[in-house]
Structures are given as C-alpha cells and as structure tokens.
Amino acid sequence: MTTDPFSNFDLSRFQTVSNLPLQTMVSMAKALEAAAPDNAPAHVDKVKGLMRDTSDDAEDAMIVRLREDNEGSASADQTLDIAVDPLWSLIRRRLDDWGVYMREGLNFVEDDPDAPPEVDIEELRDKATRARKISERLFGVGRLNFIQRPYAEQAQLMANVLGLIDTDKLEEDIIELTGPELLPMLRRCQVRYEGMVQARAMRIDGSAADLRTLRGRLRRLIVRYAGAVITMLDESEPETLDVVETALMPMLTIRPVPARAGAAAGEGEGEGELEGELEGEGVSVDEELGEESEDLGETG
C-alpha cells in the first residue's frame, strides 16, 4: 500500500501569521527570502520581491525610530524635565522647612525676655502649621512621586496641583510661605512642559503610525508569499512537499525575543509601541489572497 506523503501536511500552519512585533516580522521575512526555493514561478518571485522591499523599508524605519529615541533622551525635553523637577521639590521643601519652628526645644522663646521683637515664635508656628497643612493638601505625606512619572502623566499631575492651588485659593499663602518667585516660575514652566508633551506625543504617534503601517503590510505580504509558495505543491511530484515545507519553515521557527521585565510592566517612556498594535489572532490566506491565489498584486 502506497503512503500518501501529502496526507500529513498541515496547511493551516502557514495560513496565518501571529500578531508579532515588527522586529520579529522583519526577521521572518528575511529568513523566508533566504529559504526561498530555486527556480520558483514568477508569481512567487513577485511577492518575494514585494516582501523584501517592505522588509527593507521597515528596517530603515526602525533605525530612524531608534535615532529619534536616542536623540530624545538627550534633547530639550529631558533638559526641561530636569529643570522642572527640582522646582517642585523646592516648593515642597520650603513648606516643610517651616516645621523647624514647631520643635519643642524652641518653647523657651515664648517666655524669653531677651528675645528680639522680630522673633515672634507664635507667628512663626502659625505659619508652620499653615505650611504643613498646605504641603499635605498638595502633595500628601511621603515622597514627591509624581516628578518620577513619564512625561505625559507628570504634566497632568502637575496641572492637578496647580489647579488645586487655584480652587482652594492657596496662592497668597504659598507666596508668603515659599517666596514670591517660585509659584509663578512653576506656572510658567507648566505651560512649556505641556507644550513639550504635546509635541512629543505627535512625534511619537507619527513614528508609531508609520511602524504600524509597515508591520501590517509586511504581515500581509508574508501570508501572501506563503500562499504563493503553497501553489507550488503538486501531488504528482512528492518532492514539491519538501520544497514547500523547507521554504516556509521560518514561519514556524521565528519567534519574538521575550521582553525584559521592565518593558513587560509598562515602565519607561514610549515603550511598547510595536507590541500588540494590530488586533486579531492572525491574517488569513483566504482574506489576503482572495479566491484566486494568482492575483498577487500589492494592495497594502
């Protein structure tokens, strides 16, 4: 009894491409090109060429994105952030420093006949009490954590604090307790900081959109290429099965590199733009090729 070599061939393994990161998709496309069968039909070579061109475009785009990210880390964005953070630390510290007048060791000043008239410990302690209440109302108890958040989140949290100052009419008290220059400086910096965040978001969103477009196109082309290669199967020529399986093996072996723990937890600014941006489990050969597998023109 003759065994049918095609009976165990699982076509479904090559009918979808998982929602992989762009870097992994490029690796898969390059591996498929390297494993391409010799003397393939023209329609296979055509899709392979489209896949190669899109893979090259994606690689170029990732290099541009890497350059943007690295330049951004030393850019005016970071310079502004480094300047603003200490101002918020300073205003809280000035409020909290009034607490020195509440120490028990200064009680003697209340009844000290030799104390100079400008040393009014009762007034100083009244200011210390007001400063403590304002500090707790604006910043809570503990570390000033919001200056360690990503840019966009920090911008909103700073805006919330400034809004609370206005809503609770604390400006006069804060100026009295922290000096006339600090709160106006923070307000001016807030305008610049929010502008920086908006410009940064537009820059990152535009770059991410380009990468999403390239990934979607490359994903479709890999599926179309697999469909084109599968048309080379000829049950009257069993050797074509090995040719097809060898040519498409990268679709089974290429896997994404596991993300580092910090990235998986969502840490860092602008991380994860390439992960999970396209919904769905995979792209179907039927969806991409239509009923006619020979209709292989670029539609992406």
Q: Do 62 and 22 touch, CB atoms closer than 8 A?
A: yes
Region 72-94 average pLDDT: 87
Rounded Cα distance between 157 and 239, Å, is 65
Classify residue 87 as exposed, middle or buried by CB count within 10 Å of its CB (0-12, 13-18, 19+).
Answer: middle
Give the model's confidence band at 69: pLDDT under 50 very low, under 70 low, under 90 confident, else very high: low
Least confident of 8-12, 74-78, 212-216, 263-267: 263-267
pLDDT at residue 193, rounded to an integer: 95
What confidence score (pLDDT) does residue 73 get? Answer: 53
Spatial distance between the Cα atoms of 256 and 28, rounded to a whole number of angstroms: 10
H or E stretch at 196: helix 182-230
Helix (H), strand (E) counts: the chain: 11, 0
pLDDT at 54: 94
| C-alpha closest to that of 192 among 139, 160, 164, 151 | 151
275-297 residue pLDDT tens: 333 333 344 333 333 333 333 33
For the chain, what percent of residues have pLDDT higher than 90?
Answer: 52
Can you give the pTM of this predicted structure? 0.50
Residue spans of the domains in the chain: they are 15-73+209-263+274-289, 76-201
The answer on pLDDT for 87 being more than 50 is yes
Note the pLDDT of residue 113: 80
Between these two residues, 77 and 27, which has the higher pLDDT value? 27
> How confident is the model at residue 72, as a pLDDT?
57
What is d(CA 232, CA 248) in angstroms, rounded to the nearest whole number?
12
Note the pLDDT of residue 116.
80
pLDDT (mean) for 77-82: 89
Q: How far apart are CA 54 and CA 48, in angstroms?
A: 10
Q: What integer best gives the mean pLDDT of the chain? A: 82
Segment 152-177, tens digit of pLDDT: 999 999 999 999 999 999 999 999 99
Q: Which residue has the tokens 């090729």?
A: 289
The structure tokens listed for 288 are: 């991409």
pLDDT digits over 109-161, tens only?
887 887 787 788 899 999 999 999 999 999 998 888 899 999 999 999 999 99
pLDDT beyond 90 at 257: no
